[in-house]
């Protein structure tokens, strides 16, 4: 299969030198990319800035902003069999990016933020025969929120994890189906979860297609 994987954080610039972002390490997405290559798949990785080597054999597109993530994914997805979206996408961006560098005035300033595009929802909306695996990072009411995202983004399943996953070598995930049942649960090193997730997708998600 040819698999599109999104990974790492996005950045939203306030001016030319400052941005909003998050602490995503990219480790889950990179581990999945590595596991997919090892299982004989072709991988296209669209990644925000992270401090990890790109696994050998992976075709990579580096992005910074959510708009860049969106345009790369919309271009690449049609030629793929499915997508695994691990990217920690900024939900908001400054309404305007200021040219140059904002100078201090001695008074408080207010940043007006607007929502970014939901990349996975857009891919899900045009998936046709392709499969879509989302991730849901939840800190409260995890199952309800993950199921809302699964439906809104047209996912074939969603990998639920919590905020302890950010920047950690380990993770604890539960995979939910569109019928809200638990299909699998994995915990341990992200490298090991990645291998189990690729096997799960091959056996349970692709088989359904």
- Could you tell me which of 20, 11, 12, 13 has the C-alpha nearest to residue 100? 13
- DSSP-assigned states of every residue in 58-116: -EEEE--SHHHHHHHHHHHGGGSSEEEE--B--SEEESSPPSS-PPP-SS-----EEEP
Phi-psi group of 100: left, alpha or beta (phi > 0 → left; psi -120 to 50 → alpha; rest → beta) = left
Determine if 14 is a binding residue for ligand CTP (CB under 6 A). no
- Note whether 33 binds ligand CTP by CB under 6 A: no
Assess 76 for contact with ligand CTP (CB under 6 A): no
In the three-class reduction of DSSP (H, G, I as helix; E, B as strand; rest coil), residue 8 is classed as: coil
What are residue 166's phi and psi, to 5 degrees?
A: -60, 125
In the bound state with ligand CTP, the residue whose beta carbon lies nearer, of 35 and 119, is 119
Q: Is 118 in the site for ligand CTP (CB under 6 A)?
A: yes
Segment near ligand CTP (CB under 6 A); pick from 45-53, 97-105, 113-121, 181-189:
113-121
- 81 vs 91, which CB is nearer to ligand CTP? 91
Site pattern 45..74 for ligand CTP (x: CB under 6 A): ---------------------x--------
Q: How far apart are the first and last CA of the chain?
A: 13
Considering only residues 133 through 162, tell me which ones interact with ligand CTP, judged by CB under 6 A.
134-137, 149, 153
Q: Which residues bind ligand CTP (CB under 6 A)?
A: 6, 66, 85, 87, 89, 91, 116, 118-120, 134-137, 149, 153
């Amino acid at each position: 299969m040819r698999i599109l994987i999104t990974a790492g954080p996005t950045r939203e610039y306030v001016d030319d030198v400052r941005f909003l972002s998050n602490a995503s390490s990219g480790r889950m997405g990179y581990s999945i990319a590595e596991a997919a290559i090892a299982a004989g798949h072709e991988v296209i990785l669209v990644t925000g800035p992270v401090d990890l080597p790109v696994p050998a054999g992976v075709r990579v597109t580096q992005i910074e902003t959510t708009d860049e993530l969106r345009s790369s994914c919309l271009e690449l997805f049609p030629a793929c069999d499915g997508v695994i979206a691990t990217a920690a996408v900024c939900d908001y961006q400054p309404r305007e990016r200021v040219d140059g560098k904002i100078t201090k005035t001695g008074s408080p300033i207010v940043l007006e933020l607007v929502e970014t595009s939901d990349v996975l929802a857009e891919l899900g909306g045009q998936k046709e025969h392709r499969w879509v695996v989302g991730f849901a990072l939840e800190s409260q009411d995890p199952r309800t929120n993950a199921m809302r995202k699964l439906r809104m983004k047209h996912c074939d399943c969603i990998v639920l994890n919590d905020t302890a996953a950010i920047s950690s070598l380990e993770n604890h995930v539960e995979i939910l189906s569109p019928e809200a049942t638990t299909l699998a649960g994995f915990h341990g090193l992200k490298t090991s979860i990645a291998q189990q997730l690729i096997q799960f997708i091959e056996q349970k998600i692709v088989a359904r297609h």
